[in-house]
Structure 1
């Protein structure tokens, strides 16, 4: 996007945010890229982040499958244990602080497909973040013994040459069976939604209350898994205040809104600068 077009889009987007009395942040994997997290876009991108899997010829979709916890738990926990350690070490980028400042001025909620817990680390209250695909920071019993979901207090040790986890692997405190992350994986019929489900229900009740005066800032949510995009488009069906920040897929094809083809952190800061300085009405294109 040319700088002039980008500047005009930021100006228009800031006006949409300024005029809203409530804010919904909808975030996909692209939100974490400026914090140094991989977004797993495409096989080549995934293999650049994890060379051992390139040598094994394993794609992200093949690893993010619950079947491995039964068939090869060291492989499964090698992948998820490494991610858990990575997320625990990651510092949220400055764009998160911008969103927190906005949340101090108006009612704000978060809907995210990310399992990394970065919004909570950045200061958002647990009850204000709806994690549609669950969280890597919580575990469930693979044997489904009835044990409630519990925090992932321990990170397994990983051999980064083979990307396999070393024993002991996380286990259920109730029955001692193998544990798995409380994440919705590909082809996953055993995910326990007991933790995420109530938060999603409360979010949708909140959206209904604020629908006509709501602005949605959607960040880093692509079309390959369109869960976040659908949520943001449905939430803005009444207000038309959709701000879509996406480097590769910024187009707003359904309803009204503004698309910005720039990274998350820089765009959020640019929007914040506009809001602090006052937003002049956008000129005609």
Structure 2
């Protein structure tokens, strides 16, 4: 039995489905792959000239020290994600979610699962969402949607021009409600509510004795949050389908390892299920 057949068998035996998605999920939609400095600089050449890596730009300190630099980076990404059409692999997952009770756990901040048609109450975004904002000064304003908010970004310098997004309560600077590197000021309220709902769902499945199959897609080991969630959720059943072009190995020796990109693998699995 090859890995695709094994994965299809695990799906057929499922009572419920958990999709765990990392950055590799968005590559087939045309979103950039930030694997290492070279991958990031191919997507954003101006930052190569400045010698700035993704980890250095995704630092909340810039919103206080150089807000034009910070909003240049995040404003460009906000526009990019708004204009990106989810690839057909999202449609496969959405169809599966109509067949099985399903949830999504993702580190992606791009909102692609919502854009593809997944209901907000079945998606847990563990690193937050670029489509929501928070007050930089923590004035007490709850996290709010970024609908209608944008930043004008110079494509050469990648710096944003005034006026920058602001807090509707105090008028101070706004920032994306994203967990950045070394982020001590992130407002976790929205994400924590999602995670609490996610945990209750998993507990209910265990209490009812329902078999959960986990489909992990494009989740790397550099920031292993999604892989750990997938491994923990599938620990009792071993029903883990890992789709990863570069790192498909399943350490516990069970499950299915599919070394392919997201859309290709999901289409092939869907064909086998039908």
1:62 partnered with 2:56: yes
1:108 and 1:100 mapped to 2: Cα distance?
9
Structure 1, gaps ≥5 residues long: 1-6, 277-285
Output the aligned Cα RMSD.
Answer: 0.9
- The alpha-carbon distance between structure 1 residues 246 and 133, as it changes in their structure 2 partners (threshold 3 A), is same
2:68 and 2:223 mapped to 1: Cα distance?
27
Residue 139 of structure 1: SS of its match in structure 2?
A: strand
Alignment of structure 1 residues 193-232 onto 2, 5 Å: 193-211=188-206, 212-232=210-230
Structure 2, gaps ≥5 residues long: none
1:161 partnered with 2:133: no
2:47 and 2:223 mapped to 1: Cα distance?
22
1:254 and 1:130 mapped to 2: Cα distance?
25
1:111 and 1:208 mapped to 2: Cα distance?
15
- For residue 265 of structure 1, what is the aligned residue in structure 2? 263
In the TM superposition, residue 254 of structure 1 has moved relative to its aligned partner by 2.7
- For residue 9 of structure 1, what is the aligned residue in structure 2? 3
- For residue 170 of structure 2, what is the aligned residue in structure 1? 175
TM norm structure 1: 0.93
Deviations 1:88-136 (A, max 9, x none): 0000000000000000011000000000000000000000000000000
Q: Of residues 116, 131, 134 in structure 2, which corresponds to 1:137?
A: 131
- For residue 30 of structure 1, what is the aligned residue in structure 2? 24
Residue 189 of structure 2: SS of its match in structure 1?
A: coil
Number of aligned positions between the proteins = 270
Say if 1:61 and 1:186, in contact at 8 Å, map to a contact too: yes
- For residue 93 of structure 1, what is the aligned residue in structure 2? 87
Say if 1:68 and 1:75, in contact at 8 Å, map to a contact too: yes
Deviations 1:16-47 (A, max 9, x none): 01100100000000000000001211000000
Deviations 1:37-81 (A, max 9, x none): 012110000000000000110000000000000000000000000
Say if 1:237 and 1:255, in contact at 8 Å, map to a contact too: no
TM norm structure 2: 0.97
In the TM superposition, residue 255 of structure 1 has moved relative to its aligned partner by 5.4
2:13 and 2:233 mapped to 1: Cα distance?
16
Say if 1:95 and 1:265, in contact at 8 Å, map to a contact too: yes
- For residue 111 of structure 1, what is the aligned residue in structure 2? 105
1:188 partnered with 2:183: yes
Say if 1:233 and 1:255, in contact at 8 Å, map to a contact too: no
In the TM superposition, residue 256 of structure 1 has moved relative to its aligned partner by 2.0
1:21 partnered with 2:15: yes
2:60 and 2:194 mapped to 1: Cα distance?
23
